Amino acid sequence: MSAITRDEVAHLARLSRLALNEDELDHLAAQLDEIISAVAKVQQAAEGDIPPSSHALPLANVYRPDEARPGLTPDQALDAAPAVEDQRFRVPQILGEEE
């Protein structure tokens, strides 16, 4: 049995906002099946009561004083934007006509 199906890959592509074509879906499904079968060995190694590590360091949140500091100017922030209007990022429509 395969670890991951082509339909699952198509669903994951939608979730990750990647418009993949049919060839990419076929190719990726086969490769991901192989990769996931190989990495599944973590499940045997992790048997038992082992705490997870999300990070290398024992970290706590770091805060700075809540003081205003210089940041980017509007021109700097907008400099690399694909589209700009009235000192704002111009984006495609996010709501349908009827909303």
Partner 1 sequence: MGNELIRMSAAELGSAIAAGQASAVEAAQAYLDRIEAVEGSVNAFLHVDRETTLAQARAVDARRAAGEELGPLAGVPVAHKDVFTTTDMPTTAASRILQDYRPPYDATVTARLREAGLVVLGKTNMDEFAMGSSTENSAFGPTRNPWDTSRVPGGSSGGSSAAVAAFEAPLATGTDTGGSIRQPAAVCGLVGAKPTYGGSSRYGLIAFASSLDTPGPFARNVLDAALLHEAFSGHDPHDSTSIDAPVPAVAEAARRADVAGLRVGVVKQFSGEGYQPGVLQRFQESVDLLESMGAKVVEVSCPSFDTALAAYYLIAPSECSSNLARFDAMRYGLRSGDDGTRSAEEVMALTRAEGFGPEVKRRIILGTYALSSGYYDAYYGSAQQVRTLIKRDFEAAFDNVDVLVSPTAPTTAFPLGERTDDPMAMYLADLCTIPTNLAGNAALSVPCGLAPEDGLPVGLQVMAPALADDRAYRVGAAVEAALRERSGSDFLSGSPYAV
Burial of 6 (0-12, 13-18, 19+ CB in 10 A): middle
One symbol per residue from 6 to 45: x for binding partner 1 (CB under 8 A), - otherwise; what is it?
--xx--xxxxxxxxxx--x---x--xx-xxx-xxxxxx-x
**Strand, helix or coil at 25?**
helix
CB atoms within 10 A of CB 9: 21
The residues that bridge with 67 in the sheet, in sequence order, are: none
And the tokens for 36?
Answer: 């996931």
When binding is defined by CB under 8 A, the residue of 76, 86, 87, 98 that contacts partner 1 is 76
Residue 94 lies near partner 1 (rule: CB under 8 A): yes
List residues binding partner 1 (CB under 8 A). 4, 8-9, 12-21, 24, 28, 31-32, 34-36, 38-43, 45-46, 50-57, 59, 61-62, 64, 72, 76-77, 79-83, 89, 91-94, 96
